[in-house]
Amino acid sequence: MTEEPTSGTVVGDTGGRGLDARTSEPAWDHEEYHGRPVSWVAVTIIIIGFILGGIALPIGPSWVLFWVGAALVVLGGIFAASIRIMDDWY
């Protein structure tokens, strides 16, 4: 019978760089993709709407500013859906 290595024993050739050397790319490795610029415009419109709505409530409440912010969020969401923002996911 062959002898099994004990815990902590390194078996095989570790190469010049040791065990840290990668012999191949991992299967999960993919290129970086951060979305299209038009998608970031849609996200920016939505964020500005949330900020306006969030500022409007504690300073008054200023209902006009709140509804302008809410409208920006809705319009930004419609714009995001029209440019198919969810297709940007890898």
Q: Are 74 and 53 in contact (CB under 8 A)?
A: no
Confidence tier at 83 by pLDDT (50, 70, 90): very high
Confidence tier at 34 by pLDDT (50, 70, 90): confident
What is the rounded average pLDDT for all residues in the chain? Answer: 81
pLDDT at 41: 96
Report how far residue 51's alpha carbon sits from residue 69's, in angstroms, rounded to the nearest whole number.
7
pTM here is 0.63
Q: Are 79 and 45 in contact (CB under 8 A)?
A: yes
Backbone φ and ψ for 63, nearest 5 degrees, come out as -70, -30
- Secondary structure of 19-34 as H, E, C letters: HHCCCCCCCCCCCCCC
Backbone φ and ψ for 11, nearest 5 degrees, come out as -110, 135
Domain boundaries, the chain: 36-88
